[in-house]
Structure formats: structure tokens, C-alpha cells
Amino acid sequence: MGFDKFFIFFTYIYFFMLSTLLYSRHSSCIDPGCDFYRGQWIYDDSYPSYKASQCSFIEDQFDCIGNGRPDKAYLNYRWKPDGCQLPKFSGQDFVTRFRGKRIMFVGDSLSLNQWQSLTCMLHTSLPKSNFTLAKVGDVSTFYIPDYNISLMLSRNAFLVDLDIVNKSRILKLESIRNGETWKGFDMLVFNTWHWWLHKGKQKAWDYIEFGGKVYEDMDRLVAFKEGLKTWSKWIDSNIDPSITKVYFQGISPTHYNGAEWNASTKGTTCLGETLPIIGPASGGNLPAVEVVKGVINNMTKVGIVRLLDITELSALRKDGHPSAYGLGGQKGNDCSHWCLAGVPDTWNHLLYSILVTSIKS
């Protein structure tokens, strides 16, 4: 073999091995038999990957350390799926993949929780890159000019329309004009559920409109299902999966009821909890989870929406809520949202893992 042929052959082998190494770096969980969402929380001293104090834009209600939370062990847990390792999160790889792209999170304050987590993960991964943060109406935009990437948040508690008619708030389960603002994005991440449960003074509507009739109220799970069906029809009719990736952020569990993790003290909540649950939790049995899965599975375009099935793994983290160290630093007991750094970082790590290990995601 002549020198020139040898050089070409060696160069081919070198770049083949290099590309294989780089691919494997982001594909350690490529095995289709591995379930990202079944596993356990492992204590890891290398966590967390950032501090909330590094991200001035994080809402005060999520900054548990900044609000005086004394225990810090909850920051050091890493999600370990059974049978595989998640690819290591790389902010540099994320922005490179989505250079010039627009990503939108659509939903309630749990979407805010996840969106702020991702913006902080990227910001701290790219300390030399500038960013801008702007809000117009209900839409917030985190923009990284070096990569021309926009991460946007549209606050929308129900996805379907909530209209004001004669000073009354009417939740319209079959109307989704909101969807016009979701067009043209490269990735959409939806979420809704918690506001469907609010009652009394916290209820966000005065009436519900469905099937040509107006009701003062109705079974919340039925209303949720009908609203989601309207959303799914909009996705089927308006989204081209070859252009836009669509995800649904699974139902985020709360920890107001200690019976869910076999707490011995009646009335136990997340207040004072400092350790994850060891063993199974019942969060994955929430009826709303089955509604979400049923609606997604019955969509016309099969596979157009991918579920981030974070319910059960999040249900194990009774220690991850702001509790008395949220709500603007005021004393309270928030067992619904999550501290940052914290559990939503894992949601985004899972989202990233799906993006880098699945061609069809």
C-alpha cells in the first residue's frame, strides 16, 4: 500500500472512530429497551450543575436557597434510569443543535418552572455568551444572540380559550384561538393541569362552555379531557412534524398529602421534608396522567406528540418543593412548584436525552 493510500485509509479510520466516539457520548441510552422514566434518585456530589444565584432572572418563588432554606442535600440527587445512563447534558451541544431555532413552552407556572430551569442550565453552561430577556404580554423571551436561539414562554393555564363575556370569565372547552401564537416554532413543549383543580376563590373561571351549553361547573377530569381533545385536534390540523417537534410536559405531582408516600403522621405535607422517597410512589396513578396518555395515543397523527412522562420520578421528590422557602420568601407551604436548582433540571435533562438519542423525536 502506497503512502498516499495509507494516509487516506488512516484518515478515514481516524474520523470514523472520532465520529463514533462523539455519537456514543450523546447516545449512551440509545437502547430502545431502556425506559428513561423508570429508575431511582442517586446521591451525587457533582450536583447541582448550577446555583440559582448565577441566574438573576429566576423567580424568587423558586430560589429556595436564596430564601433561606438551610438544608442542601436535595440539590445533590441525580436521576438514574434502570439499565442505562442518561447522556450528559451539554448546554453547548444544545445551542449548537438549535442554532437559529425558536422553542416555546406553553402552559402554567409549572411551564415557567421548567423554562426557567432550562434557561439557567444554558446560561451557566455558556458563561461567555450574552443573553436578553424580554416580556411582551404573556410571552417571555430568553434570547442568546451568539446562537440566534430563542426560548420563549407563553403563560396559558388551560391551553383552550378563557374569554371575558359580560364581565364573566368563560372557559371554552372547544375553542382554541390561542393556537395562532404557537405556529412557526421549531419545538413546542405544552403543559396544563393544576389550574383545572382550583376551586372557590382560586377558580379561574365563572362558567364553562361545552357542547353549545354553559355550566357553572362540571367534573374537572371530564373538562380537562375535553380541553385536551380540542388541543390535540389543533395539533393534528396545524403542526407539520417534519418541521416542529412537539412535547407534552407530563403531570407534575404535588406533595400535600403524606398518605401518598406512606407518611406515618396524619396531615404530613412536603414541609420539612429533606430526602426523596425510597421505593415506589403513587404519583404515577393520578387520573390526569391516564387522560393525557389516552388523548395523545388517540391523535390522528400517531407519534406527533411525545410525552415527557415525569410524574412518577417527580413523585419521589417530596423534598424538592419550595415549601416555606418560596412564595417570594414569605412563609407559606408551596408543595406544588419546585426549587431551582432542582427537579425541573432533570425534566430538561430528559428532554435533551430524547433529542440526542432519538432521530424521530
Which positions are annotated as active-site residues? 109, 334, 337
Cα(110)–Cα(117) distance, integer angstroms: 11
Cα(234)–Cα(208) distance, integer angstroms: 20
Q: Is 248 helix (H, G, I), strand (E, B) or coil?
A: strand
C-alpha cell at 311: 410524574
Query: What is the identity of the amino acid at 289?
Result: V
Q: Sort strands 161-165 and 168-172 into parallel, antiparallel or unpaired.
A: antiparallel
Sign of torsion over alpha carbons 91, 54, 348, 175 = negative
For 7: left if phi > 0, alpha if psi spans -120 to 50, otherwise beta; the answer is: alpha
What Cα–Cα distance (Å) separates residue 261 from each residue in 197, 279, 282, 318?
21, 9, 7, 9
Contact 340, 116 (CB under 8 A): yes
Cα(353)–Cα(117) distance, integer angstroms: 16
Exposure class string for 130-168: b at 16+ Cβ within 10 A, else e: ebeeeeeeeebbbbbeebebbbbbbbbbbbbbbeeeeee
Q: Which residues have a Cβ under 8 Å from the Cβ of 17 and sit 6 or more positions away?
A: none
Contact 116, 61 (CB under 8 A): no
> Which uninterrupted H or E stretch holds 345?
helix 343-357
